[in-house]
Structure 1
Amino acid sequence: MTQFNQWCVSVDTPVGAHVSRVMTGQAAKLLTGVEVTAAIVPGHYASEEHVARALARLGKSGAAELIEGKLPTTKEIRSGDLGEIYATEWIDAHSGGYGAPIKRLRWKDHRNMAMRGEDVIGIRQDPQMRQLYFLKTEAKSRARLTGQVLTEARAGLDKNGGLPSAHALTFISTRLLELGNEPLADAIDDAVLKYGIPSQNVQHLLFTFSGNAPDAFLAASLQAYAGPFHQWAVGLRVEGHTAYVSAVYDRVIANANNT
């Protein structure tokens, strides 16, 4: 799990009924950011069991080849994937009980293609009532963030009446069945096919990863929102965004070859 507090300073700002959080990578600690991020990136592309099996059967070079073969090679896809990875890690660590039940990038059609559908869906289950709550998420990664990028993210969140799509949730439940998590898979299928998803059980997360300051863009997006869903806007800023993304993936490859 990425420990953002090891290398970032966070500032929360209320925007009406919503909350904006800006996490800024500290220049003196960006190497720590690269290291802790590189440690968790492989698990988003391949399961720990798959890597361990390759290591046991094929040795270090085979496991390294498995990992490297799943990593994107283009700057754009690496940037987008890392934005989604950071959004997933933030949900697991800082969203107050939501968790991303699968690491979606493991099922990419091709390493240099972006995945379709909702970027990440966080899920929380009430321990007594067993009712599900959803955090529908759009993650955007840009060297230079603009208002248009936030407009695109808002359009994604507003699709399907603001609710997570049945297609995205069925994808998750199918993967969970493959992973042996039948109770959560069944609960998701029940929500989609039997009970429906009430709007009060859904929140939105707009997550950005950029080289420039996201504060004004996040605030403007929240101020303009007039819908019924509670909104979180989280912006991670790393100056030298493009070089940082490259450094993370270079470190992943170096780590794999030095295991």
Structure 2
Amino acid sequence: MGLYKNWCDATREKDKRKRYWTYVEKDGGRDEIRDDLAETIRSHYDRLQRIAEDVERLGYNVAAKILSEAMPQTPKGRSGDLGEILATELVEEEIGLRVPVRRLRYKDGRNMAMRGDDFIGAGYDGAGEKLWLLKGEAKSNKVLGKTTVTSARKVLNRDNGRCTPDSLLFVANRLLESNDPDDNELGRSLRDEVGLKTLRADRIDHMLFTVSGNGPHASLKDDLDATGTNRDHYVVNIHVEDHQDFIAAMYQEAEDLGDD
């Protein structure tokens, strides 16, 4: 789909294993990706095929009500969820790892934040043999500041920088329930890692992902500069000036399934 390619202009800086990426909306970029992003948001709460089946059985209005029941209705809930959605899409589009489980489909309540790592990217190295992980923390704020950045880094560093066992096991078990042999293989690798903990730090990348109305706060670069060099670090900011209006509009778009 190329969500970010069509939506934003990117600036990327790299210093050894540290990457600092900032994105700013292109003129007309939001209109370019509006429909695709709305569909992407839906897909994080339910399978698109299942939504289509609801439409066929019950019509657009009832299908939209069912979908709406899975989506948060508070500004805070929507902001947090959209941060995770945009982070997931960035990992898969720009880094090439899979975020194999759309965990927002498994929330206990639509307005509740989920516990554990915000997103986990997974795959294998170039030889296709050794497991590779990315542990991610996503923050979405109208005004991003140092307190939020410091808090996110603290979460990334917990468990000695490893993906938390409960988060990794959750992903592993969902993959093992799949009918796809590749999903099963990856799920088995993740489940083994929960018990064996054999992955070295240099194969567990970290991403601090932010979307904010005030753009990249200086604390983001300071935070990246202070990190170690034993793993790949990604610090990312998506600048959306009308942050709250953008979120409200995109959820309205996502909930509207149309009538044709």
Interval of TM-score (by shorter of Structure 1 and Structure 2) = over 0.9
CA–CA separation in structure 1 for the residues paired with 2:159 and 2:197: 17
CA–CA separation in structure 1 for the residues paired with 2:56 and 2:126: 39
Write out per-residue CA displacement over residues 220-240 of structure 1, whole angstroms, 9 at most, x where no aligned residue: 111122363321111111111
Quote the offset at 1:33 in angstroms: 4.1
CA–CA separation in structure 1 for the residues paired with 2:167 and 2:53: 29
Backbone CA RMSD of aligned residues:
1.8
**Pair 1:159-2:158 in alignment:** yes
Q: Structure 2 matches for 1:68-147, cutoff 5 A?
A: 68-95=68-95, 97-126=96-125, 128=127, 130-147=129-146
2:194 corresponding residue in structure 1? 192
Task: Give % identity.
Answer: 32
**Pair 1:172-2:174 in alignment:** no
Q: 1:227 to 1:154 in 2, by over 3 A?
A: farther
Contact 1:2–1:36 (8 Å) recurs in 2: no
Quote the offset at 1:54 in angstroms: 1.9
Gaps of 5+ in 2: none
Q: 1:67 to 1:246 in 2, by over 3 A?
A: same
Write out per-residue CA displacement over residues 132-167 of structure 1, whole angstroms, 9 at most, x where no aligned residue: 100100000001100111001100100100011111
2:259 corresponding residue in structure 1? 258
Quote the offset at 1:51 in angstroms: 1.5
* SS of aligned partner of 1:258: coil
* SS of aligned partner of 1:102: coil
1:46 corresponding residue in structure 2? 46
* SS of aligned partner of 1:30: helix
CA–CA separation in structure 1 for the residues paired with 2:178 and 2:202: 29
2:251 corresponding residue in structure 1? 249
CA–CA separation in structure 2 for the residues paired with 1:127 and 1:13: 23
CA–CA separation in structure 1 for the residues paired with 2:197 and 2:45: 33
1:58 corresponding residue in structure 2? 58
Q: How many residues align?
A: 257
- State the TM-score, normalized to the length of structure 1: 0.92
Contact 1:44–1:105 (8 Å) recurs in 2: yes
Quote the offset at 1:82 in angstroms: 0.4
Equivalent residue letter for 1:258: D
CA–CA separation in structure 1 for the residues paired with 2:55 and 2:129: 39
Contact 2:22–2:236 (8 Å) recurs in 1: yes
CA–CA separation in structure 2 for the residues paired with 1:127 and 1:15: 22
Q: 1:195 to 1:117 in 2, by over 3 A?
A: closer
Q: 1:76 to 1:110 in 2, by over 3 A?
A: same
Equivalent residue letter for 1:144: V
CA–CA separation in structure 2 for the residues paired with 1:162 and 1:12: 24
Equivalent residue letter for 1:10: A
* SS of aligned partner of 1:117: coil
